[in-house]
Amino acid sequence: MKDLRIETHDNLVKIAGSLDLQHFAEAREALQQRGGKREIDLSGLTHLDTAGAWLLLQAAGHAKLEHLRPEYQTLLELVKKAAPKKQPLPHPLPDWMQTIIRLGKNTLQLWPAAYEFIAFMGHAIVALGNIIRRPSRLRLNSITHHMEAIGINAVFIVSLVAMVISIVIAYQGQVQLKAVGAEQYTVNLIAVSVLREMGVLLTAIMIAGRSGSAFTAEIGTMRVRQEVDALQTMGFEPFELLVVPRLIALLLVLPLLTVLADIVGLFAGSFIMHSLTGMSIPEYFQRVRDSASWKDFTVGMIKAPVFAFVIALVGCMHGLKVSGSAESVGKETTASVVKAIFLVLMLDGFFSIYFQQVGL
Amino acid sequence: MTARLKSDIILSARGITNRFGAQTVHDKLNFDVARGEIIGIAGGSGSGKSLLLKTLIGLHRSDAGQVDILGKNIQQLAPAETAFLYGVLFQEDALFSSMSVLQNIMLPLREHTSLSESEQIDIAQIKLALAGLDAKTGAKYPSELSGGMTRRASMARALALDPLILFLDEPTSGLDPINAAAFDELLIKLNHALGVTIILVTHDLNTLFTICDRVGVLTDKKIRMDKMQNLIKSDDPWIKEFFTGPRGQGAAMAARSAHGNG
């Protein structure tokens, strides 16, 4: 690009070459330091852009522009009209105050969010009721498709997590219980914690992260591309078509995955106990039978469909909440995973208290 | 005269060839664009208009041939250089949705110039006003804008660095006729005032008839670039149909009456 040349004479500043964005800093400097010079000669100007024109306009407040070519005159007038009116911007509040305001706003959002979720849950229950009355409306294809995506494709990762958590419990328990000479009781610890808590809880968390997020992203993308609107105009109930199959699939699959996690967890425990204490595998399972009962297994299994219900609903609800932009798909997906995991953990706490009270 | 003309050529495409597998889309296209021209590129659906635009701005590497801007091969230009050479208005506007309109316009300024924050804001506001938006729009996010405003905001961003060439992909599609006409006028205004060269892909016949100095029509893998009055007389059946069909005649009439009044 051509250069910018600025010369200073007695009462005159000569600007030649290109006065543009790429020479902005130079030009600004020179125009600021010109002191009391009252005239700016522009006869040598070969290129002027909006940024340059704006600089000239600022300088022209107290100087005369000479020998300006007519085509630059149009540009100057255009920029003059477009130039921002110098009005002080509203002073932003300090950061700490904004944080407090945001906190307040988010807190106020809690009630509407809870209300929304309860309304959505009601909608889901009504839709399930309708399906039971007219089973022909059940979309079996869609349900089996989702069962494969949520269930079969998750078998490996759910097993792996169940195995790892069983190993962790065994190691930690064995170290602590050895100190009081109750090493064999590690088996009780593994059996009860896997069956009552860990099997179902970790499976639910994995599925919330894996499938709850997928529900939100899938339905959300359909909203962005107006597919949901298209369904509606064709006389479909988006709820029945998008939410119900996912809900039923997850209700069926999460208990099955929980059983899998329980089995894998117990087996992993047997291997780890064998390698840590030399306990034989039949002896391990005998101890499992002595320490844990069907009651423990039932407690875990009661929780599975409840968690499934919450994960599916949160995932679908946030998917349908997506509005227009691609960015909101990401935002809703994050919200859906965080909310689903939080609700699962909170419900698990309630269940613990409840089962304690009723003596299960 | 010829020597002067030659030096005024800002973009030249030589032997541009694009293929998809065995299918040839462009077959050795040659054309030049002079400084300050408004060039329209037209053609039927699937004739490779958008692909040609992508080739011209270097996003697509053609199978053969090369595009020079100011005598330099665009494939060999550094990203920072291209930013000052041309601005692009994408078909879907491509405003960054996580930023306000003003931040969108300031982004190239922040990256490629040493302007202070307040200077960036001032320049960005000038661009907003040039694109016909008021200062309040700057604080809004793309999702809060109407179609016409989004197009103008995207235009303001394309102008951020005062590029020499402005590329536009279907600038008037999705706009109502009033907004589309206003956008055409905006293009003429910017072309006159900033001297910016404009290359636009469109099948808006009104745009082609009213504002373009020359029009390049893509038919049969070739481009035919000429003044409108010559293209109308063309023997090519597609070109004939395109410009002298019912819609073409309507647009031609509208352009004539507009010129008559102005």
Write out the DSSP string of A58-74: HHHTTSEEES--HHHHH
User: Cα B173 to chain center, whole Å?
Assistant: 13
Of residues B80 and B137, more confidently modeled: B137
Has residue B78 got a pLDDT over 80? yes
Average pLDDT over residues A164-192: 92
Has residue A281 got a pLDDT over 80? yes
Provide, as residue numbers in chain A, all residues whose Cβ is less than 8 Å from the Cβ of B83. Answer: none
B44 membership: H or E segment, kind and range: none
State the pLDDT at residue B241. 86
CA separation for the pair A36, A75 (Å, rounded): 26
Find the chain A residues whose C-beta atoms sit closer than 8 A to any C-beta of B: 1, 20-22, 24-25, 49-51, 54, 71, 74-75, 78-79, 81-85, 323-327
Has residue B2 got a pLDDT over 60? no
Has residue A41 got a pLDDT over 90? no
Confidence band (pLDDT; 50, 70, 90) for A22? confident
State the pLDDT at residue A35. 63
Chain B, 152 to 181: residues with Cβ < 8 Å from chain A are: 159, 161-162
Provide, as residue numbers in chain B, all residues whose Cβ is less than 8 Å from the Cβ of A75. Answer: 193-195
Has residue B229 got a pLDDT over 70? yes
Structural tokens at position B207: 């745009």
Q: Does B82 touch chain A (CB under 8 A)?
A: no
State the pLDDT at residue A16. 87
Average pLDDT over residues A164-179: 92
Q: In CATH terms, is domain A4-82 a member of 3.40.91.10?
A: no
Average pLDDT over residues B157-171: 92
* Cβ–Cβ gap A325/B162 under 8 Å: no
Angle between helices B147-158 and B117-130 (to 10 degrees): 130
State the pLDDT at residue B4. 38
Residue A49 identity (one-letter amino acid): D
Angle at A339 between CA A338 and CA A340, to 5 degrees: 95
Confidence band (pLDDT; 50, 70, 90) for B105? very high
Provide, as residue numbers in chain A, all residues whose Cβ is less than 8 Å from the Cβ of B159. Answer: 50
Backbone angles phi, psi at A324, to 5 degrees: 60, -75
**Chain-wide mean pLDDT for chain B?**
88
- A67 and A41 Cβ atoms separated by less than 8 Å: yes
In 3-state terms, chain B is what percent helix, strand and coil (to 5)? 45, 25, 30
State the pLDDT at residue A172. 92
| Residue B44 Rama label (left phi>0; alpha psi -120 to 50; beta) | beta
State the pLDDT at residue A62. 64
Has residue A342 got a pLDDT over 90? yes
Task: Give the lowest-confidence range in A8-22, B75-89, B174-188.
Answer: A8-22
What is the architecture, at CATH level 2, of domain B36-47+76-261? Answer: 3-Layer(aba) Sandwich (3.40)
Provide, as residue numbers in chain B, all residues whose Cβ is less than 8 Å from the Cβ of A84. Answer: 121-122, 125-126, 129, 135
Domain chopping of chain B, boundaries = 36-47+76-261
Average pLDDT over residues A126-149: 89
Which residues pair with residue B215 across a beta bridge? B40, B226
b/e per residue A300-327 (b: at least 16 CB within 10 A): bbebbebbbbbbbbbbbbbbbbbeeeeb
Confidence band (pLDDT; 50, 70, 90) for A120? very high
CA separation for the pair B256, B260 (Å, rounded): 6
pLDDT digits (tens, 9 = 90+) for A233-264: 888 888 888 999 999 999 999 999 999 999 99
CA separation for the pair B138, B145 (Å, rounded): 11
**Where do the DSSP E strands lie in A50-139?**
64-66
Taking CA atoms, A199 is separated from A163, A337, B116, B231, in Å, by: 10, 19, 58, 75
State the pLDDT at residue A88. 58
Average pLDDT over residues A126-152: 90
State which residue of chain A sits closest to B115, comparing Cα positions. A25
Of all residues in chain B, the percent with pLDDT exceeding 90 is 44
Confidence band (pLDDT; 50, 70, 90) for A2? low
Average pLDDT over residues A116-132: 90
Domain chopping of chain A, boundaries = 4-82, 109-358
Exposed/middle/buried for residue B230 (C-beta within 10 Å: 0-12, 13-18, 19+)? exposed
Task: Give the lowest-confidence range in A81-85, A102-106, A311-315, B125-129.
Answer: A81-85
Q: Closest CB to A78: pick one of B84, B121, B130.
A: B130
- B172: which DSSP letter? T
Provide, as residue numbers in chain B, all residues whose Cβ is less than 8 Å from the Cβ of A21. Answer: 84, 109, 113, 123, 161-162
Has residue A34 got a pLDDT over 70? no
State the pLDDT at residue B5. 45
State the pLDDT at residue B124. 92
CA separation for the pair B194, A71 (Å, rounded): 9
Confidence band (pLDDT; 50, 70, 90) for B12? very high
Of residues A215 and A63, more confidently modeled: A215
State the pLDDT at residue B6. 45
* Cβ–Cβ gap A85/B135 under 8 Å: yes
Provide, as residue numbers in chain A, all residues whose Cβ is less than 8 Å from the Cβ of B156. Answer: none
Task: Give the lowest-confidence range in A81-85, A122-126, A154-158, A180-184.
Answer: A81-85
CA separation for the pair A193, B140 (Å, rounded): 53
- Residue A180 CB-half CA count within 13 A: 6
Q: Does B84 touch chain A (CB under 8 A)?
A: yes
State the pLDDT at residue A208. 96
ipTM value of the model? 0.77
State which residue of chain B sits closest to A324, comparing Cα positions. B143
- B65 and B15 Cβ atoms separated by less than 8 Å: yes
Has residue B259 got a pLDDT over 80? no
Taking CA atoms, A194 is separated from A217, A225, A264, A273, B176, in Å, by: 31, 43, 10, 15, 64
CA separation for the pair A191, A168 (Å, rounded): 13
